[in-house]
DNA sequence: TAAACGTGGTG
DNA sequence: TCACCAAGTTT
């Protein structure tokens, strides 16, 4: 392991030198504004820089300050987040913006400990903001940093278990630079993102290949250790897109399930694939609706992959004449085309509406 | 505390 | 095609 202050000092010098030569000039690195740093960190959680960057720019244009975000409707925030996934990030961010305005007069807490009490801020994000915006000497340990530490220092603890996280945190504490913690954290993250990459790292040009455990024993592919293996569940969703004039019947998803806060259509889930709506149980209301208009099956069966679910999704498009009065199930309402466009929707719903030439 | 939460890129 | 992964957090 590494505990000798001289070795730590040498490690930090090499790391910083690598960073100064190789880092990307990312937008959120050009500022110490905690709001901007916070925004970037939330967006980047489990998200690639390339995917997140356009959202960072959009959010800053629409909500330049924490006050603007606090004043926004949650629905609009979610709409701007549409397509990024993990939507609780957007809901929590909006909630936290309001809290920062109402409780702290728009100023962010300045330590990792106090930041971590805010919704959506865990250990990593709190430490990142505390060091980048306020210069606190706390280690921000994200997936990149776990990888770098486990490989260089040969740490085989499971990075996803609480036990393992403690071990990594210990090592990180001995490593962090107290002269320039912000650059140290940025450098560790960037080093993992650019040099010590998950697959096929080019160790021949690595400044640490003289001390790296993984390189010495050729176990780059075995580190870091992640014990978790996830099982994917199949789900069969049958959506009914009820249209009247240019209006669509949509509902806000409010259950403890996927896509909370986003809008979709009348949904009947089944245990297996069904070929026709008649096969769906509990469809008396459906039959009434179908009698009023015409129904067509959207030809494509959509397969939509989530982290823990494989969605098999069939859509039926139900067109009802405007002369027919329609009794919608509770919580489902008609929205004009304009409104449908501005509602936050799962990317799957948005895709179908576009492929079916509605949007 | 293990499981759940999205989407898109990659080999 | 598909498993894996990408600046994690919540419950």
CATH of the domain at A272: 3.90.79.10
* Mean pLDDT, residues A108-130: 98
Looking at the structure of chain A, the number of domains it has is 2
> Smallest Cα–C1' distance to nucleotide B2: which residue has it?
A228
Same domain, A140 and A248: no
Give A188 CA → C4 C1' in Å: 22
Per-residue pLDDT reduced to its tens digit, A158-172? 988 888 999 999 999
A110 pLDDT more than 80: yes
Q: What pLDDT, on a 0 to 100 scale, did the predictor assign at position A279? A: 82
Same domain, A279 and A324: yes
Of A184, A217, A250, which one is at a domain's C-terminal end?
A217
* Bases along strand C below 7 A from a protein CB: 4-10
Q: Is pLDDT above 70 for A337?
A: yes
Going by C-alpha positions, the residue among A319, A295, A349 that lies closest to residue A245 is A319
Q: Per mean pLDDT, which range of A3-12, A145-154, A203-212, A328-337 is the poorest?
A: A3-12
Distance CA A314, CA A20 (A): 52
Boundary of a domain, candidates A217, A250, A267: A217
Give the nucleotide nearest to A132 (CA→C1').
Answer: C7
C1' (C7) to CA (A237) span, angstroms = 33
Look at residue A222 and tell me if it is in a domain: no
- Residue A273 structural domain: 233-355
Spanning CA of A314 to C1' of C2, the rounded length in angstroms is 22
At residue A244, the 3 state secondary structure works out as strand
Within this chain, do residues A11 and A143 fall inside the same structural domain, yes or no? yes
| pLDDT value of residue A281 | 64
Look up the protein residue whose alpha carbon has the minimum distance to the C1' of B8.
A51
Whether pLDDT at A1 is above 80: no
Task: Please count the CA atoms within 13 angstroms of the CA of A67 that sit on its side-chain side.
Answer: 3
C-beta within 7 A of nucleic chain C, residues 83-102 of A: 86, 88, 92
Going through A135-206 in order, the beta strands assigned E by DSSP cover none
pLDDT at A5 over 80: no
The pLDDT of A320-330, averaged and rounded, is 93
pLDDT at A280: 81
A8-to-A18, A174, A176, A193, A242 alpha-carbon distances in Å: 15, 8, 8, 21, 64
Chain B bases having any atom below 7 Å from a protein CB: 1-9, 11
pLDDT at A86 over 70: yes
Question: Which residues have CB atoms below 7 Å from chain B, the nucleic strand?
Answer: A 46-48, 50-51, 83-88, 161-162, 199, 228, 230-231, 233, 257-260, 304-309, 346-348
The CA–C1' separation of A292 and C4, in angstroms, is: 48
Are the C-beta atoms of A122 and A130 separated by less than 8 Å? no
Position A295 in a domain:
yes
Last residue of a domain, one of A217, A244, A262: A217
Residue A122 Cβ under 7 A from any strand C atom: yes
CATH of the domain at A66: 1.10.340.30
Confidence of residue A33 (pLDDT cuts 50, 70, 90): very high
Q: Is the CB of A121 under 7 A from strand C?
A: yes
Cα(A359)–Cα(A352) distance, integer angstroms: 9
> Does A194 share its domain with A54?
yes
**Same domain? A184 vs A294:** no
Mean pLDDT, chain A, rounded, equals 95
For residue A278, the model assigns a pLDDT of 83
Are A60 and A205 part of one and the same domain? yes
**For residue range A128-147, what is the model confidence (pLDDT) as tens digits?**
999 999 999 999 999 999 99
Residues of A taking part in catalysis: 41
Question: What does the pLDDT look like over A217-254, one tens digit per residue?
Answer: 999 999 999 876 678 999 999 999 999 999 999 999 99
Return the H-helix or E-strand segment holding A67.
helix A66-71
């Amino acid at each position: 392991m590494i505990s000798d202050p001289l070795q730590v000092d040498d490690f930090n010098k090499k790391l910083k030198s690598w960073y100064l030569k190789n880092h990307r000039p990312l937008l959120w690195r050009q500022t110490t504004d905690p709001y901007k740093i916070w925004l970037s960190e939330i967006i980047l959680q489990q998200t690639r820089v390339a995917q997140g960057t356009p959202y960072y720019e959009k959010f800053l244009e629409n909500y330049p300050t924490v006050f603007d975000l606090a004043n926004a409707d949650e629905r609009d925030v979610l709409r701007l987040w549409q397509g990024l996934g993990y939507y609780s990030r957007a809901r929590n961010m909006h909630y936290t913006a309001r809290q920062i305005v109402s409780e702290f007069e728009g100023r962010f807490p300045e330590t990792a400990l106090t930041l971590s009490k805010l919704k959506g801020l865990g250990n990593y994000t709190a430490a990142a903001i505390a060091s980048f915006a306020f210069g606190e000497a706390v280690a921000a340990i994200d997936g990149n940093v776990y990888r770098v530490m486990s490989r260089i220092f040969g740490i085989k603890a499971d990075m996803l278990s609480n036990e393992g996280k403690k071990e990594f945190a210990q090592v990180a504490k001995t490593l962090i630079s107290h002269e320039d913690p912000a650059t140290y954290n940025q450098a560790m993250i960037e080093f993992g993102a650019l040099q010590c990459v998950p697959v096929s790292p080019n160790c021949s040009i690595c400044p640490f290949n003289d001390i790296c455990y993984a390189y010495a024993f050729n176990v780059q592919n075995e580190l870091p250790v992640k014990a978790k293996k996830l099982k994917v569940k199949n789900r069969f969703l049958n959506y009914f897109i009820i249209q009247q004039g240019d209006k669509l019947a949509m509902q806000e998803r409010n259950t403890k399930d996927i896509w909370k806060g986003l809008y979709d259509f009348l949904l009947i889930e089944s245990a297996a694939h069904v070929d026709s709506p008649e096969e769906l149980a509990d469809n008396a209301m459906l039959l009434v609706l179908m009698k009023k208009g015409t129904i067509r099956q959207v030809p494509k069966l959509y397969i939509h992959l989530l982290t823990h679910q494989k969605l098999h999704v069939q859509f039926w498009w139900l067109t009802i004449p405007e002369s027919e009065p329609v009794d919608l199930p509770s919580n489902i309402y008609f929205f004009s085309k304009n409104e449908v466009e501005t509602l936050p929707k799962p990317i799957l719903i948005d895709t179908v509406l576009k492929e079916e030439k509605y949007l």
